Amino acid sequence: MSERRIRVLVAKPGLDGHDRGAKTVASVLRDHGMEVVYTGLHKTPAMIAEIAMQEDVDVVGLSILSGAHMELFPRVRKELVERGLDHVLMVGGGIIPGDDMQVLEEDGFAKLFGPGTNTDSIAEYIQTEISKRWAAEEAQA
């Protein structure tokens, strides 16, 4: 029998084409044993939520360097909730000022990672959070 693996969607919302961070994080998460779906560039919030649903992911990670995070991140969140995916762990990264991080974290984002974040720590964070959730699910079942 197969074991359960963490499925992560790494997504690039908006028009910005800087994918160095997204691809690096995707590769690192793969190296930590996760199954990572990468969306490619230039996705709308609705597209990202639709992909998250079709791919049945446990985590959605958004990467943005265009400054449009305060517009796009909450919209992705809203689209996910509309599809009944509020249980999905939402994380994000990019050039995001501290104040904005705080606002987003109050708005349903589990955690935001700024420039210079150690990528292993992102993987560890996801592993810890998801195992908590799975343990809770099992306890319920």
Q: Collapsing DSSP states into helix, strand and coil, what is residue 58?
A: coil
Closest CB to other proteins among 60 and 72?
Answer: 72
Q: Indicate whether 128 belongs to the interface with other proteins (CB under 8 A).
A: no
- Taking the least distance from each CB to other proteins, the nearer of 50 and 129 is 50
The upper half-sphere exposure of residue 26, i.e. CA atoms within 13 Å in the direction of its Cβ, equals 17
Q: Are 62 and 48 in contact (CB under 8 A)?
A: yes
Task: Select from 31-39, 76-84, 102-110, 125-133 the region that touches other proteins (CB under 8 A).
Answer: 31-39
The greatest distance separating any two alpha carbons of the chain, rounded to the nearest whole angstrom, comes to 46
Residue bearing tokens 């044993």? 33
Of the candidate residues 60, 62, 72, 126, the single one contacting other proteins (CB under 8 A): 72
- How far apart, in whole angstroms, are the C-alpha atoms of residue 63 and residue 2? 30
CB of 47 to other proteins, least distance (A): 5
Residue closest to 72 by CA, chosen among 44, 93, 111, 95? 44
For other proteins, the closer CB: 28 or 110: 28
15 binds other proteins (CB under 8 A): yes
Among residues 107, 120, 124, 137, the one that binds other proteins under rule CB under 8 A: 120
Measure CA of the first residue to CA of the last residue in the chain; give whole Å: 20
Residues 75-94 touching other proteins, rule: CB under 8 A, are 75
SS3 category, 60: strand
Residues within the interface to other proteins (CB under 8 A): 1-5, 7, 14-20, 23-24, 26-44, 46-47, 50-51, 54-56, 66-68, 70-72, 75, 95, 97-98, 114-116, 118-120
